[in-house]
């Protein structure tokens, strides 16, 4: 269906209140988003070699979301077009609108619910499961979510089973690469508020990866389990997490890996706040087992530096990240944040001169947010990576070259229709 037809259908549907019940138990919304981001890249994702030229481009997300809600029923459809300015011909008959969300939620008695369809999965601090809103496309899963929620406790069960098409009549359940990154997924998540200022989450996830052939499918299962804790006494924000992985990965190799994170933040006054944290993700290339922790489907851009050298791009080694952050919000309309990262490997790396070390370098990330008007926000950022000779071995490129990145985003996200009948 063309997006224009979708809009007209929504507009025609809204006035049908004359035929609905007088209690106004139905709610319908239309939300639109145009998010445009221009980027200057001079060593993003991977360090560039000496003499390389920077790149420039503008990407854009155009998203239209329809929401319906009544007693015990919620539905959402979100279609989007994403891409880079100039990639499509002026006369384009193909179109590339896709469904980013298409789900329905049924609410039963006593806090029980079921939600099925295409949906983002965002849990805790998004370290393992995140919506990845920074990415122009975002991230979705095709899944069934069963759950229970109350004021003090939440319990979710997430189930997914992926196939490429429905034309196969034999050959088992082989899942060819190209779709979702996993074949099956089962996740149990619990969150409890045990005190006014303390919450604890537990997560167990089993991800099944296709390791067979087209004639005979085979699934390798990897388990991820752990906890996420948040404590907020007064002006302090303290959180931490620890996770362990076992089973077999997508290469059908045995896994024994772990990670932990700690963060302490303090709000000095309504304008200033500071935080100090560390993330440690295991990894040793000399181990007989795979000891590299896989952060799976989290929002990696949020944690491991804005230039995305680690996990958001190819990286399969251990990492120790030390973070210092300062935030300043002088008014309701403008805010500044400065993050410093120092990155190290979790094992010794031998440089080209024969010396061993672990330090990969330091990254500085500056971001400015400004609210232009209602539903319109302008955000700018600048980052630089001061790499070492050990970074050259781990990620390539040249640490002698200046590596930096700048970007400017305009996000327009109004609710253009809200009606009840």
For residue 10, which phi and psi values (nearest 5 degrees)? -65, -45
pLDDT of residue 24: 78
For the entire predicted model, the pTM comes to 0.91
* Average pLDDT along the chain, 421 residues, taken 10 residues at a time: 52 48 82 99 94 96 98 97 94 86 97 98 98 96 98 98 84 86 98 97 98 90 99 98 97 95 98 98 83 96 96 85 99 98 95 95 99 98 98 94 98 98 93
Beta strands in 196-218 (DSSP E): 198-210
Domain count, the chain: 1
3-state secondary structure of 110: helix
Beta bridge partners of 415: 31
Q: What DSSP letter does each residue of 346-393 carry, written as one string?
A: EEEEE-TTS-EEEEEEEEEEEEEEEEEETTEEEEEEEEEEEE-HHHHH
For residue 323, which phi and psi values (nearest 5 degrees)? -125, 135
Return the exposure string of 49-67: e unless at least 16 CB atoms fall within 10 Å of the residue's CB, then b. eeeeebeeeebbbbbbbbb
Nearest to 220 by CA among 228, 234, 206, 210: 210
pLDDT of residue 18: 44
For residue 12, which phi and psi values (nearest 5 degrees)? -75, -30
* Tokens read off for 141: 């899963």
3-state secondary structure of 5: helix
pLDDT of residue 151: 94
pLDDT of residue 5: 55
pLDDT of residue 11: 52
pLDDT of residue 172: 79
pLDDT digits (tens, 9 = 90+) for 15-53: 544 444 456 799 999 999 999 999 999 999 999 999 999
Question: Considering just the CA atoms, what is the radius of gyration of the chain in Å?
Answer: 23
Is the separation of the CB atoms in 242 and 229 below 8 Å? Answer: no
Q: What is the CATH number of the domain that holds 68?
A: 2.40.160.100
Nearest to 416 by CA among 71, 10, 117: 10
Between CA 315 and CA 317 the distance in angstroms is: 6
pLDDT of residue 166: 83
Is the separation of the CB atoms in 337 and 383 below 8 Å? Answer: no
pLDDT of residue 153: 98
Residue 53 belongs to domain spanning? 3-420
Length of the chain in terms of residues written: 421
For residue 414, which phi and psi values (nearest 5 degrees)? -90, 155
pLDDT digits (tens, 9 = 90+) for 355-407: 999 999 999 999 999 999 999 999 999 999 999 999 999 999 999 999 999 99
């Amino acid at each position: 269906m063309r997006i224009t037809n979708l809009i007209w259908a929504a507009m025609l549907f809204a006035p049908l209140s004359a035929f609905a019940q007088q209690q106004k138990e139905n709610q319908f919304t239309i939300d639109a988003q145009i998010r445009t981001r221009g980027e200057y890249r001079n060593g993003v994702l991977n360090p560039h070699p000496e003499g390389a030229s920077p790149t420039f481009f503008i990407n854009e997300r155009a998203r239209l979301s329809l929401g319906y809600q009544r007693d015990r029923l919620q539905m959402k459809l979100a279609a989007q077009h994403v891409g880079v300015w100039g990639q499509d011909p002026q006369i384009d008959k193909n179109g590339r609108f896709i469904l980013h969300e298409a789900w329905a939620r049924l609410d039963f008695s006593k806090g029980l619910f079921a939600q099925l369809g295409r949906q983002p999965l965002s849990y805790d601090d998004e370290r393992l499961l995140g919506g990845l809103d920074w990415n122009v496309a975002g991230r979705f899963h095709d899944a069934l979510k069963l759950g229970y929620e109350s004021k003090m406790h939440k319990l979710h069960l997430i189930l997914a089973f992926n196939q490429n098409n429905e034309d196969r009549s034999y050959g088992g359940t082989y899942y060819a690469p190209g779709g979702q990154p996993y074949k099956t997924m089962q996740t149990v998540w619990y969150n409890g508020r045990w005190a006014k200022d303390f919450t604890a989450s537990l997560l167990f996830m089993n991800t099944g990866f296709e390791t067979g052939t087209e004639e005979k499918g085979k699934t390798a299962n990897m388990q991820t389990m752990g906890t996420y804790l948040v404590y907020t006494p007064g002006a302090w924000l303290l959180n931490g997490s620890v996770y362990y992985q076992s089973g077999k990965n997508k290469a059908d190799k045995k896994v024994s890996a772990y990670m932990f994170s700690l963060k302490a933040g303090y709000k000095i006054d309504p304008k200033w706040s500071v935080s100090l944290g560390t993330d440690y993700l295991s990894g040793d290339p000399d181990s007989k087992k795979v000891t590299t922790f896989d952060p799976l489907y989290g929002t990696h851009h949020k944690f491991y530096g804005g230039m995305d050298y680690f996990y958001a791009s190819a990286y399969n080694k251990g990492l120790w990240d030390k973070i210092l952050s300062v935030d300043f919000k002088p008014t309701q309309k403008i805010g500044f944040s400065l993050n410093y990262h120092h990155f190290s490997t979790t094992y010794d790396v031998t440089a080209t001169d024969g010396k061993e070390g672990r330090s990969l370098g330091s990254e500085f990330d500056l971001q400015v947010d400004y609210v232009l008007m209602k539903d319109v926000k302008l955000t700018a950022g600048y980052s630089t990576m001061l790499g070492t000779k050990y970074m050259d071995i781990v990620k390539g490129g040249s640490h002698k070259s200046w590596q930096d990145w700048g970007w400017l985003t305009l996000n327009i996200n109004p609710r253009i229709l809200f009606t009840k009948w």
